[in-house]
A and B are shown apart, each in its own frame.
Chain A
């Protein structure tokens, strides 16, 4: 069975500061890993994904994440937060083949001026 744990239901950063959202996963098979973002009153949209190959993946809006197998982690980072980054972020895992995606509980990011 697969599962996802997101550490911290709420994260607050100042504008221009580093964003770090933590995600750990559990999977008995090589995983596919995803970060989705949900802006207020909008549907979830894919931010970035890891399937195979390079472990550092880049996504939209300057976000990136690194797959660390030894730590079973897939933390999301952005060097400099912008007010428009305020949203809820979901880490997700699926098995190789991607047929069933399991989501974490989400982390709400607040950005202070």
Chain B
């Protein structure tokens, strides 16, 4: 597709369950970012990939959160033992070059933890 694709668009889960959120970036974009947006807040940085490696994961809130990008394209954000406080919209963005700072966002995956 032409833009950043995120699946699922909505996910409802129960506290304690495991969740995976997928991001398919724009073809050819080498940089990929995950953000989290809570209601009434701006996007909060989680992690940034340059190629296959996580160049900066300083925004991951704790060790229940993990992200991979094994082939340098699609990325998966994994959340273990979900908590109600994890409920948010998880945004993925890609960029043709990390040094432009210009991000192309997907529409997000809304996670609700009951």
Interface residues of A (CB under 8 A from B): 4, 6, 9, 32, 34, 36, 41-46, 49, 51, 90, 92, 94, 97-106
Contacts and interface: CB of A to CB of B under 8 A. Distances in A.
Interface of B: 3-4, 33, 35, 40-45, 48, 55-56, 58, 91, 93, 95, 98-108
B40 A34 contact: no
20 contacts: A4-B42, A34-B101, A36-B103, A42-B107, A43-B107, A43-B108, A44-B103, A45-B105, A46-B102, A94-B101, A97-B101, A99-B56, A100-B56, A101-B33, A101-B103, A103-B35, A103-B43, A105-B41, A106-B41, A106-B42
A43 B45 contact: no
A99 B45 CA distance: 11
B99 A97 contact: yes
A43 B48 contact: no
A101 B107 contact: no
A8 B107 CA distance: 25
- Top 8 closest pairs, chain A to chain B, by CB: A98-B101, A103-B42, A43-B105, A44-B105, A94-B101, A32-B101, A43-B107, A103-B43
Given A44-B103, A98-B98, A100-B58, 10 more contacts: A43-B105, A44-B93, A46-B102, A51-B100, A51-B101, A94-B101, A98-B100, A99-B48, A99-B55, A105-B41
B2 to A, nearest CB: 12
Given A43-B91, A45-B105, A49-B101, A100 B48 contact: yes
A105 B101 contact: no
Contacts of A106: 40-42
Contacts of A105: 40-42
A51 B99 CA distance: 10
Contacts of B93: 44
B75 to A, nearest CB: 16
B4 A43 contact: yes
A13 B6 CA distance: 34
Contacts of A9: 40
B45 A100 contact: yes
